[in-house]
Amino acid sequence: MLENEQSQSTTEDGIQPGDAELYGVPASLVEDVATALKAGELDAIRKTVTDLHAADQADLMEQLTSRNLRRFIDAFLEDLDPEALSELEETVRDEVIDLLEPQEIAAAVAEMDTDDAVYVIEDLDESERREILDAVPDEERFELEAGLSYPEDSAGRLMQQDFISVPTYWTVGQTIDHMREDEDLPEDFYEIFVVDAMMKPVGTIPLNRILRTKRDVDIAEIMEHEPILVPANMDQEEVAFLVQQYDLVSALVVDDSNRLIGSIMIDDIVDVIQEEAEEDIMLLGGVGDGGIHESTFQTTRDRFVWLFANLGTAILASIVISQFGGTIEQMVALAVLMPIVASMGGNAGTQTLTIAVRALGTKELTSSNALRTISREAVVGVINGILFAVIMGVVAALWFDIQMLGFVIAAAMIINMIVAALAGILIPLGLHKAGIDPAVASSVFVTTITDVVGFFAFLSLAAKYLV
């Protein structure tokens, strides 16, 4: 029987502050699961997989190869927490959904909170989404359709439609009895919402205040007045700002008439904050929505556009340099083209670096999938290197009317793009292994390597074949 090393593992004294490695899915568990799947020894790991938290089940699936993921779903679908679907990275989630029948997806989303269920099915094709919704029980289907009716990335999509609301004239005792007797209450909640006769919020009460107040006290006496209301159409980034700004543990979502229709929990806001931060840094690095789970084709396609734009700016810089060619004693073309090789390598390295640092920060990049990620980055470097070698080789040959110059810069471009891709992944991995924050130090090393290799490759090839 495999030893369960999941995030809930503890010692006799409990998890200590320095035991951070006990959280998440260890690489040894991923390797054990992969080995068991290959050998068909499923009973040896079934309890381990079942006992994992939904988030850890998702992390485990994300680190499996496509073949093992298919085996995993076939073997353990009934043992998985439905919430694991909502915890999966988008690319992997799409892969898992493709492995499931509509009825199986419907059974999973019917057990989820509304916001998580909407998140899982919102990006599906209309026909596939309709087929799943038709298989969901009527009550849950109504809630899902209501959530899907709001704009993407809005509070309406993010909200949980189950909440606890009480009128102002109730007492604390009535409220407590209601929570004990009603079987349809949400599983997790931190506040009681106070509403008027029109279902409009007029106040909130933290649970701790309810529990510490005598039964005969009126709700109106202890509630917090003038609650912060979130329109259902508000962008999720603005909702995250409100929650962060005013230290809310949950946010009240209202419709156009200010009637209470749902709540957004703090755990969902944390996800939004992380998602928005990732989006900003991805755009800054020119990699779109890419992650380490995307295919080589998708990664190459996403990065090619940004690199092509940077190629244009590099050519402009070279044109400026060429205006001072008269001061250069030997072969003006070399000085003119040098910045292009270094700039393209630097930008390619930054793209890989951005993905690697983000993946390390979210624990998506681990020792169990590092080799696969490095291989993918190397292939992306080769493909983009060849593509831009052809483009720049033709430009250089026509620009200076020297055919061999085109071959020289093409070869230097391929060398530097491959080195940039490898440096962008290997340097943050090495720094992380050494206990140094890769987000702080990696860029300096990557830029230095791409500049040195770019200049050396170009000038040494030029010295041998041109000068």
Listing from the earlier edge strand, what are the strands of the sheet with 224-225?
Answer: 165-167, 191-195, 201-206, 224-225
Contact between residue 377 and residue 422 where contact means Cβ atoms under 8 Å apart? yes
DSSP 368: T
Buried b (16+ CB within 10 A) or exposed e, 207-230: eeebeebeeeeebbebbeeebeeb
**Tokens 């604390």 belong to which residue?**
172
Tell me the domain boundaries of the chain: 20-151, 165-265, 286-465
Kindly report the CATH class assigned to 286-465. mainly alpha
- For 142, phi then psi, to 5°, come to -60, -45
pLDDT at 339: 83
CATH 3.10.580.10 is right for the domain spanning 165-265: yes
pLDDT at 306: 65
Cα torsion for 311, 312, 313, 315, to the nearest 10°? 90
DSSP reduced 3-state for 31: helix
- Ramachandran assignment for 396, one of left (phi > 0), alpha (psi -120 to 50 degrees), beta (any other): alpha
Give the sign of the dihedral formed by CA 380, CA 382, CA 383, CA 384: positive
Burial 43-81 (b: 16+ CB within 10 A, else e): eebbebbeebbbbbbbbbbbbbeeebbbbbbebbeeebb
Instruction: DSSP for 115-183, please give it.
Output: HHHHHHHTTS-HHHHHHHHHTS-HHHHHHHHHHHTSPTTBHHHH-BS---EEETT-BHHHHHHHHHH-T
- Tell how many helices (H) and how many strands (E) occur in the chain: 21, 7
| Report field, pTM of the whole predicted structure over 0.85 | no
- Residue 394, amino acid: V
Domain 20-151, CATH: 1.25.60.10
Cα first-last separation, the chain = 68
Encode the chain (467 residues) as per-residue pLDDT tens digits: 333 444 444 334 443 444 444 567 888 888 999 999 988 888 888 988 999 999 999 999 999 988 999 999 999 999 999 999 999 988 899 899 999 999 999 999 999 988 899 989 998 888 999 999 999 998 889 999 999 999 988 999 999 988 999 999 999 999 999 999 888 788 788 899 999 999 999 999 999 999 999 999 999 999 999 899 999 999 998 898 898 888 888 899 999 999 999 999 888 888 888 777 776 566 545 555 556 656 677 677 767 766 776 676 567 656 655 554 443 445 778 888 888 888 898 889 888 888 887 787 666 788 888 888 888 888 998 999 999 999 999 999 998 888 888 998 999 899 989 999 999 999 889 988 888 767 656 777 787 788 778 877 888 888 877 86
